Structure 1
Amino acid sequence: MMPFNLITELPQNHSEQTSGPTTSYNRTTDAFDEFVRCLTLFTCLCGALGNGIVLWLLTFHIKRTPFSFYVLSLAASDFTYLFLEVIWVINYLIYRPMFQNIVNLLTNMGLHVTFTVGLGLLASISTQRCLSILFPIWYRNHHPKRGPMVVCGLLWILSLLLNLPKVYYCVVKVEILPPSGCDTMSKLSGALMLSMLILMTLSSLILFIRILWSARKYKPKKLVILILLTVFVFLLCAVPHGINHSVFNWSAMYNHTFHEISYFLSCVNSSANPFIYFFIGSLRHQRLKEPLRVVLQRALRDDSDPSEDRGTSTRTDTTLDTPA
């Protein structure tokens, strides 16, 4: 589904010059592509709506905390990713050649940047939660209050610096930069994503082991379950997209079916987070007409943050039931 990937265009061009079994195969491939991309479009629209609700609630209706700032940035990243994917799929389905180049440029740059930011945010969230559980006293006394804002800002800046030149010179203006320059930028971007993936996986594994170890004595906190579910969905749905983009897309191992499915799964990953938040927030609460802002705030409650004592949080939940 990557716009500038010439490999995906080969079946269509090839079908114009051949007939017989090859034509039948290309028709099947085209039908499969249209089905997957229509499914992708529906998923992206639902996910964009969910992330938009999260953005609206966290911006205007819920008091911001260090952890909720991570979630706000992640929702913004996912919303941007899904919005750009919607633009690309619509442009593919209706096919307007006059907009093809600008749509390809925007979607390529945006998808690279937002994917890297989303991975970095999940690595930061899982690492912070792991430190708060392993070293609770140190975390309460030494973690910086503005740490999430600094981390989120650095992730966006670093992702822009690494991905925008790579997409522009290695995809759009291939003839300008020598292959060695593209290889260097690709290796830097790949090393950054691999390091964040390893960090996220290790910290999440530690959290999971800690939950299993203490499950008999204590009920796991909703926030930890939320993080583990989010990371699990990312590993299941987004990692195939990263593998396809980093390895299969540029080698003889390219597989068209895996290419299309990996992009659909990446959209599932960006769409799933809001549903995870509201599912976790509604656990053990049977009130059907409860406001979404109450459910979301309950899911994101950070018991390890000294500024969020349980008494304050409980009072906030009750007061949020009244109209704003």
Structure 2
Amino acid sequence: MMSSNLITELSTINPTSEMPPNQTSGPNAPQINPYAAFDEFVRCLTLFTCLCGAVGNGIVLWLLTFHIKRTSFSFYVLNLAGSDFTYLFLEVIWVINYLIYRPNFQNIVNLLTNMGLHVTFTVGLGLLASISTQRCLSILFPIWYRNHHPKRGPMVVCGLLWILSLLLNPPKVYYCVVRFVTLSPSGCELMSKLSGTLMLSMLLLMTLSSLILFIRILWSAKKYKPKKLVILILLTVLVFLLCAVPHGINHSVFNWKAMYNHTFHEISYFLSCVNSSANPFIYFFIGSLRHQRLKEPLRVVLQRALRDDSDPSEDRGTSSRTDTTLDTAA
């Protein structure tokens, strides 16, 4: 019973779901909305957060695309930054449409933003699951990982995640969320179960592998200092669990009118944007640890944070030379 509820909550993430009868879809709508001032405050705060997050993810995209040599891990981060940037961009469009309230564009905005948000949320979850699982394998089985890790593995995984998300989410949004065309309940239930099963599997995989990483850090903390890359992954997963999962929980109880809470409903939207906005700040924070230089280029900081010493495509000589270069660059 709990698993079916979790599948439902993960497969119905929809920032434009119908509100309860006495609420409005915009500040200028004719109905009386007792939460109007609160809604506008939270949406303005969400808009500011999304804009900051979009700038941060845009910087990460720019640096990884044109200025930093790509590794298997940085390729995952590149795709994660792309999905987060798209998610935040769509949230900005939706919030602006809410604040200025243009009914003529309401339907098309709802359709496009819902499709994009479902796709990017699924891809982001899958990327975090892949990153944490790969890091877990490299720590538990380092020799096997270095000898058998496929060079094109990240490209295949990222491609499959985007394809699966594009195949499962847009039809579900079109027929069952926005309901441009009515579909039988059994068809909607099937699509929701497929999408929810995929997302639940990725969530469990991400949580389990991150838990193993955390236990391994605690076990070996007295002998070895934890690597920055492992700390970065754990922080990113922790932010996702704290900020993105509540967004899914909100929509799992949304259909139960007796359990609906408007304050939690609005704050969950804000937290979902915090999740997508936080990753660039985590990268630059981890990269700047123990390197307190005020004028250090962002490229150097990001490259240091994402350096993967267990990547089989990089030999140790190159890694040591890179360390020296990063430590002397300014």
State which of 245, 249, 255 in structure 2 corresponds to 1:243.
Answer: 249
Instruction: State how far apart, in whole Å, the 2-side matches of 1:125 and 1:57 are.
Output: 20
Contact 2:46 2:273 (8 Å CA) reproduced = yes
The one of the two structures with greater contact order (alpha-carbon pairs below 8 A, sep at least 6) is 2
**Structure 1 segment 1-324 matched on structure 2, within 5 A:** 28-173=34-179, 176-249=182-255, 252-316=258-322, 319=325
Q: Summarize deviations over 1:151-173 as a string: whole Å, max 9, x none.
A: 00000110111111100011233
**Closer, same or farther: CA 78–93 of 1 in aligned 2, 3 Å:** same
Displacement after TM superposition at 1:308 (Å)? 2.8
What is the aligned residue count? 321
Q: Give, in angstroms, the shift of residue 5 of structure 1.
A: 19
8 Å CA contact 1:47–1:270 kept in 2: the answer is yes
CA contact (8 A) 2:74 2:306 kept: yes
Bigger mean CA deviation after superposition, 208-217 or 313-322: 313-322
Instruction: Report the CA distance between 1:259 and its aligned residue.
Output: 1.4
Over the residues paired in the alignment, what is the CA RMSD in angstroms? Answer: 5.1
Shift of 1:97: 1.7
Tell me, yes or no, if the aligned pair for 1:3 and 1:108 is still in contact at 8 Å.
no
**Partner Cα distance (2:291, 2:9) in 1:** 50
Deviation at 1:309, TM superposition (A): 3.7
Distance in 1, matches of 2:151 and 2:208, equals 24
> Does structure 1 retain, via aligned residues, the 8 Å contact 2:26–2:99?
no
Q: Note closer, same or farther for the CA distance 1:8–1:264 as it changes in structure 2 (3 Å cut).
A: farther
The change in CA–CA distance for 1:275 and 1:224 in structure 2 (over 3 A counts) is same
Tell me, yes or no, if the aligned pair for 1:290 and 1:321 is still in contact at 8 Å.
Answer: no
Quick one: distance in 2 between partners of 1:279 and 1:9? 32
Deviations 1:256-275 (A, max 9, x none): 22111111100000000000
- Is residue 166–residue 185 contact of structure 1 (8 Å, CA) maintained in 2? yes
CA distance in 2 between partners of 1:81 and 1:278 (Å)? 21
Q: Secondary structure at the match of 2:33?
A: helix
Distance 1:316 1:21, change over 3 A: closer
**Whole-angstrom CA distance in 1 between matches of 2:63 and 2:88:** 19
1:130–1:6 CA distance, 2 compared to 1 (3 A) = closer
Could you tell which deviates more after superposition, 303-312 or 38-47? 303-312
Distance 1:143 1:25, change over 3 A: same
Cα distance change, pair 251–188 in 1 and its aligned pair in 2 (3 A): farther
Once residues 3 and 56 of structure 1 are traced to their aligned partners in structure 2, the CA distance between those partners, rounded to angstroms, is 40
The answer on whether the counterparts of 1:82 and 1:270 sit within 8 Å (CA) in structure 2 is yes
Are the structure 2 counterparts of residues 142 and 175 from structure 1 closer, same or farther at C-alpha, using a change threshold of 3 Å? same
State whether residues 80 and 110 of structure 1, in contact with CA within 8 Å, keep that contact through their aligned partners in structure 2: yes
Cα distance in 2 between the residues matched to 1:159 and 1:304 = 29
Deviation at 1:98, TM superposition (A): 1.9
TM-aligned CA deviation for residue 191 of structure 1 = 1.1
Report the CA distance between 1:103 and its aligned residue.
Answer: 1.0
CA distance in 1, matches of 2:145, 2:8: 49
Give secondary structure in 2 for the equivalent of 1:22: coil
Instruction: Please give the per-residue CA displacement for 1:258-293, whole angstroms capped at 9, x wherever unaligned.
Output: 111111100000000000000000000011111001
Segments of 5+ residues of structure 2 without an aligned counterpart are: 11-19
Confirm or deny: 8 A CA contact 1:170 1:182 kept in the other structure: yes
Q: What per-residue deviation string (whole Å, max 9, x for no partner) do you get for residues 18-53 of structure 1?
A: 999999995541111000000000000000000000
How many Å separate the matches in 2 of 1:262 and 1:8? 17
CA distance in 1, matches of 2:120, 2:128: 12
1:297 CA drift (Å): 0.5
How far apart are residue 302 of structure 1 and its match? 0.4
CA–CA distance in 2 between the matches of 1:3 and 1:199? 15
Compared with structure 1, are the counterparts of its residues 26 and 211 closer, same or farther at alpha carbon in structure 2 (3 Å cutoff)?
farther
Deviation at 1:248, TM superposition (A): 2.7
2:139, 2:221 → 1: CA distance?
14
Query: Which digits, 9 at most, give the CA deviation of each residue in 1:280-323, with x for residues without a partner?
Result: 00000011111001000000000101333454234346657999
Aligned pair in 2 of structure 1 residues 173, 217: CA closer, same or farther (>3 Å)? same
Instruction: Give me the TM-score of the superposition, normalised by structure 1.
Output: 0.89
Q: Do 2:50 and 2:273's aligned partners in 1 also have CA atoms closer than 8 Å?
A: yes
Contact 2:9 2:251 in 1 (8 A): no
Residues 72-110 of structure 1, C-alpha deviations (whole Å, 9 max, x = no match): 000000000000000000111111122211111110000
Q: Which segment drifts farther, 169-178 or 142-151?
A: 169-178
Q: 1:155 to 1:255 in 2, by over 3 A?
A: same
The 1:323/1:222 distance shift into structure 2, 3 A limit, reads closer
Give yes or no for contact 1:301–1:308 (8 Å, CA) kept in 2.
no
Larger deviation: 170-179 or 314-323?
314-323
